[in-house]
Amino acid sequence: MESVDSTELKVEGMTCASCANTITRFLQKNGLSDVFVDFTSGEVRFKGGNEKNLPSIKSGIDELGYHVMDETKIESKKKFIETIEAKFYFSLILTVPIWLPMLFSVPLLHNFYFQLAFATPVFLLGAWYFGKSGIASLKIGAPNMDVLIFIGSSSAFFYSIVQGLLLNNFHNLFFETSSSIITLVILGNLIEQRAVQQTRTAISALIKLQPSSAKLISFFGNEKFEVITEIPTHEIRMGNYLLFNTGDKIAADGMVVWGRGETDESMISGESLPVIKSINENVIGGTTLISGSLKMKVTATGKQTTLSQIIELVKNAQSRKPKLQKLADRITGWFVPVVLVAATLTFMLNYFILQHGTTQSIMNSVAVLVIACPCAMGLATPTAVMVGLGRSARKGILIKGSDTLETLSTIKQIVFDKTGTLTTGDFKIKELKIIVREEEEIKSVIVGLEKFSSHPIAKSLLLELKDISGRIFTDVKEEKGLGVSGKDGQGNLFSIGSSMMNNTSSKENQHNIYVFKNEKLIAWIDLEDDIKEGAAEVIQFFKSKGIKTIMLSGDKEERCASVAKALNIDEYKAEQKPEEKLAFIRNCVSQLPTAMVGDGINDAPALAQSNLGISLSNATQVAIDSAQIILLNGNLNSLIEAFSIGRITLQTIKQNLFWAFFYNVLAIPVAAIGLLSPTIAALSMAFSDVIVVGNSLRLKGRKIS
């Protein structure tokens, strides 16, 4: 976070998309790149920051009317909302007496100085709250929403002073308009901030999973004695030994070295059932030990833990904006100048053409300034995206970019790898045929080479041959889609993999695995694995949505045909090398938007080439890195939820944008012709963005098919 290349700041005081545009323009003018500003969370990220320019950047943001927060102060956002709440109650208490003349004819209530006394503190609060940010935004050429509020409230306030002090006209006073605008807009900001916080509950829940302390085990007397001490989580180091009892939260990633227990991983992977953990099994930081006791050796701490990486990926996902949000941002950037022009034209139309007089012309112009709301348009996409990403995270679906939610709804065909994706990948040896040498020696060669591979078949062979000692090999190489080779102590070259590994012309060419010594076939293996539970349901779901299903595999024709028939898959391709998979995906993408689901090294190029790469949590790291969606629980049924969440999120975004556009197109002309008073206009503006946020929050509970 504090590197010279990438800097992240937490900024308070942003209330709408215009605020984000102001800070973005400021940072870009100061030569910073890859700028991302999220006003809903207060996160600001950019590249190009260093020890020399960071102080001036922070002070510059402060001068714009915002405040760079100390990242360690977790409660800062809560305090910011409480500050807005205090401003609202202060202005409300002073505005109520100015509203009373509209209800009662008591002379005191209509007195100019009485109203001035109550309106002035409210105006000064508004001038500081909106004016500081508005004037700063004008200086950098990026006027924000606060400019409109400041001009509107100032016009009504100073017009009333001119009427009372200079013209002795005490009948055309609009102090209630000035105070109402400020009070109601602050109320809208308060409601909006509270609602936006609700859209971020999933990320907040993930952050809260991290416990504040852990029990450290220290050894003495040649490890005969143990001393347990409680230490803060941030002091945990790699290699430490920790103790956890029933009810404890796991403080870091690690491997069990003693004990047995059950952990609740529902918040991490979406797995609702308890997961049994015993010796040599990995546990995930942030999960809860619901029964038993465990001692574990720490394998990852801080930002390297699974939980921290998930939180970081969810946060980073918001910086990749969907096309709809980019369009909304461009409109918002021009919105304020356009409204200022519209307000000027409104005054000219009312005063010179319609001849409504100075008072009515000014009030209509103020109504236009106040009712215009770029906030709703700016909130339309990010609030829906945050709820969609949060709901996905709770289901064990990790989406790397918010633009991925939009891509999900465009997919017309989906390509599945077979092994480990549609099938379990838990292979069993159906037949081992020894052509040359002894069986135990062949098994030793298999174990010695396959331990260098991350392929699901290799893992299954090692599990089945776990009692066999592997031969020692050097110069080991793994070739994608082919296999593994290495030299033994005598310099003999052994290899294990597909028949294509050594271009064998043997008639024995329909088996799964071949073992070679110095390019001569010495054994072959036939394997069998089962179709994954839920695979048929997933295929049927996509077919029912009109999405074409394709299976792409390096396995033999016979096995691929059997799986494709059992699952009723539209099309399949067998015996595909990585480069052939890549070429096939390129061809698919050129025709229709295509998703690819895979888990192996040989799937990585195809995953990266597809419009949407999807990987499972038990996949190889390179496959995970190449994908845009990771199914943390490894459950294929999560695909249905991922696509459904993407669909309803896009629907919500479109609904929000339609409302925001419709509101502004209708409201501005209505205000311009005098059908709405500035007070009603302020109330309408204050609640227009609340409607957008409320619609986004509906995503939390919407049923998915």
DSSP assignment of 594-649 equals: EEEEE-SGGGHHHHHHSSEEEEETTS-HHHHHH-SEEETT--THHHHHHHHHHHHH
Tokens of 415: 């390509």
What does the alpha-carbon distance between residue 524 and residue 547 come to, in Å, rounded to a whole number?
Answer: 38
In this prediction, residue 2 carries a pLDDT of 40
pLDDT digits (tens, 9 = 90+) for 241-255: 999 999 899 999 999
Interstrand relation of 428-434 and 571-573 (parallel, antiparallel or unpaired)? unpaired
* Number of neighbours of residue 513 by Cβ within 10 angstroms: 23
Give the pLDDT score at 566. 93
CATH number of 428-528: 3.40.1110.10
Give residue for tokens 């308009």.
177
Tokens of 667: 């409201």
Task: Tell me the per-residue pLDDT of 141-200, one tens digit each, with 9 for 90 and over.
Answer: 878 778 888 988 898 899 889 888 887 877 778 888 889 889 888 887 787 677 666 656
Q: Which residue has the higher pLDDT, 224 or 152?
A: 152
Question: Confidence band (pLDDT; 50, 70, 90) for 306?
Answer: confident
Percent of the chain scoring above 70 in pLDDT: 87
Q: What is the pLDDT of residue 383?
A: 83
pTM above 0.85, yes or no: no
CA distance 80 to 21: 20
Measured in whole angstroms, how far is the alpha carbon of residue 139 from the centre of its chain?
33
C-alpha–C-alpha distance, residues 414 and 416, integer Å: 7
Please report which helix (H) or strand (E) contains residue 416, including its range. Answer: strand 413-417
CA distance 451 to 462: 7
Active-site entry in 253, 329, 403, 417: 417
Residues 6 or more apart in contact with residue 369 via CB below 8 angstroms: 148, 149, 151, 152, 155, 339, 340, 343
Q: For the purposes of burial, counting CB atoms within 10 Å of the CB of 380, is it exposed (0-12), middle (13-18) or buried (19 or more)?
A: buried
pLDDT, tens only, 256-291: 999 999 898 766 655 556 788 999 999 989 888 988
Determine how β-strand 275-277 pairs with β-strand 43-47.
Answer: unpaired
Instruction: Please state the rounded mean pLDDT for residues 446-454.
Output: 89
Region 462-482 average pLDDT: 86
Q: Mean pLDDT, to the nearest integer, of 447-462?
A: 85
Q: Is the pLDDT of residue 226 over 90?
A: no
Q: What is the mean pLDDT of the chain?
A: 84
Dump pLDDT digits (tens) for 13-61: 787 667 887 898 899 989 998 898 877 678 898 988 888 889 999 999 9
The domain spans of the chain are 212-247+253-300, 397-423+531-632, 428-528
Highest-confidence range of 74-83, 359-368, 503-512, by mean pLDDT?
359-368
- Tell me if domain 212-247+253-300 and domain 428-528 are identical in fold: no
**Which of 18-22, 245-249, 506-510, 566-570 is least confident?**
506-510
* Topology annotation, domain 212-247+253-300: 2.70.150
Q: Catalytic site residue 526?
A: no
| Domain covering 397-423+531-632 in this structure, CATH number | 3.40.50.1000
Spatial contact of 214 and 240, defined as CB atoms under 8 Å apart: no
- Residue 283 confidence (pLDDT): 92
